[in-house]
Structure 1
Amino acid sequence: MKAFTEQLNDSMNRTELSQDQVFEVLKSMRRRYAVHYLRRENCTVDFADVTDHVAAWECNTTPADLLGKQRKRVYISLYQTHIPALADAGIIDYDPETGKIRPTSRIRVFDDYLNVFTKPTLPWDRYYCGLALGSGLLFVSIWLKLYPMAMLPWFVVMLGVMAAYGMVAAIHYWYTRNTVPETPLELHSTDG
């Protein structure tokens, strides 16, 4: 583990995480759950909160219904192995004395890996298709000189269409960057 951590630190000082390094960090379910919780909260949290949520997801229960031994087993594993590995990789800032954990901007590198099997919560393809259809109808109505569209100058229409696409793309980008499911995706059913 120490050799991996040193190699990870050396390579991260120069570049972003390689795919192999990302997979090494995410090979443990507990680490994936911890990353999910930290990414969802996106602020400084207590070690105990991370432990409670990881243990609850692992035991398919709620943090309030956890048994002491369930919580303790996960706590020990996170404390000794997983949280230090995430801190060594620069994914989180961790203060063992206060028990505070803060995700760094580097945690976003895992979004693509953790969301690979999800369905988007909004039908973005329909929004883009609707925008394309609406734009096409607008262009055809101007070309056929249908009132009142024929009164619009082409450059105004083009700027409007480009602005509409830009706005939808910006909203789509913001939405996907800032929407994290409540529970880890591994807990979701994959059959539909």
Structure 2
Amino acid sequence: MGDDGVTTLSKRDESQTDELTRDEIFTMLSNRRRRWVLHYLKQTEKQRVDLRSLVDSISAWEYDVPADELPWKKRKRVYTALRQSHLPKLDEAGAIEYDQSRGVVELTDEAAELQMYLEYVPARDIPWSHVYLGLTVVGLALTVLAQHTIFPFVELGGTALAGIFVAMFGVTAVVHTSYARRNRIGRGDPPR
């Protein structure tokens, strides 16, 4: 309990002003159970969640079986790992507030900043920055071809050229947005 009579849930030193480094964030998000904790907390409409509900959901996701069908030992394994390791790490990082004595967990505003680190590029994909750079090169090439009266590009007026650019970038932006939503914490299936 703090000097003002308010119980502080977070164990993080409030005088600490340093932000987490990228390495610390990647280390924290490298564990699937920690990603699932963040996902569950963003999905729930409650501000604070009891540890049992969190354990039941994460156990069900991990074993791909409804929580009420899981043996006690498997839920206990998840409970122990969350209570002793994952929740304290997320609390220390400032992503959640974890009151171990009450068994409640709460998402903090800082957790929203972690989202950008989950937009990864799979091994066989190209980074989105390269896609947008490629679109820019194509747009520049179309502009140069239209300006140098090269057939059939000479027939493109300014409005048609602008329409092509808007269509190219618009379709790409829609695909990129859809792709990013799949990796967003708190939406859809839990992140793997």
Residue aligning to 1:68? 72
Residue aligning to 1:17? 20
Q: Contact (CA 8 Å) 1:142, 1:150: kept in 2 or not?
A: no
SS of 2:189's equivalent in the other structure is: coil
Q: How many equivalent residue pairs?
A: 175
2:104 aligned with 1:99, yes or no?
Answer: yes
C-alpha distance in 2, partners of 1:92/1:101? 5
Residue aligning to 1:78? 82
Structure 2 matches for 1:139-178, cutoff 5 A?
150=155, 152-153=157-158, 156-178=159-181
Identity %: 25
Q: Contact (CA 8 Å) 2:139, 2:165: kept in 1 or not?
A: no
**What root-mean-square deviation, in Å, do the aligned CA atoms of Structure 1 and Structure 2 show?**
4.7
C-alpha distance in 1, partners of 2:116/2:44? 13
The alpha-carbon distance between structure 1 residues 137 and 111, as it changes in their structure 2 partners (threshold 3 A), is closer
Cα-to-partner distance string for 1:99-155 (whole Å, 9 max, x where unaligned): 35335353452653x56474799xx899998998899789968977989x94744xx
The alpha-carbon distance between structure 1 residues 152 and 57, as it changes in their structure 2 partners (threshold 3 A), is same
The alpha-carbon distance between structure 1 residues 159 and 59, as it changes in their structure 2 partners (threshold 3 A), is same
The alpha-carbon distance between structure 1 residues 56 and 120, as it changes in their structure 2 partners (threshold 3 A), is farther
Q: Contact (CA 8 Å) 2:94, 2:110: kept in 1 or not?
A: no
Name the amino acid aligned to 1:58: E
> Normalization by structure 1: what TM-score?
0.56
2:191 to 168, 176, 184: 184
C-alpha distance in 2, partners of 1:24/1:126? 28
> Normalization by structure 2: what TM-score?
0.56
Q: Contact (CA 8 Å) 1:22, 1:110: kept in 2 or not?
A: no
Which consecutive residues of structure 2, in runs of 5 or more, have no partner in the other structure? Answer: 1-9
Higher mean Cα deviation, 132-141 or 24-33?
132-141
Q: Contact (CA 8 Å) 1:25, 1:86: kept in 2 or not?
A: yes
Q: Contact (CA 8 Å) 1:38, 1:102: kept in 2 or not?
A: yes
Q: Contact (CA 8 Å) 1:37, 1:50: kept in 2 or not?
A: yes
Q: What is the CA-CA distance between 1:83 and the residue it aligns to?
A: 1.8
Name the amino acid aligned to 1:65: E
Which consecutive residues of structure 1, in runs of 5 or more, have no partner in the other structure? Answer: 186-192
Name the amino acid aligned to 1:25: M
Structure with the larger RCO, 1 or 2 (CA within 8 Å, 6+ apart):
2
Q: What is the CA-CA distance between 1:89 and the residue it aligns to?
A: 1.1
Q: Contact (CA 8 Å) 1:143, 1:150: kept in 2 or not?
A: no
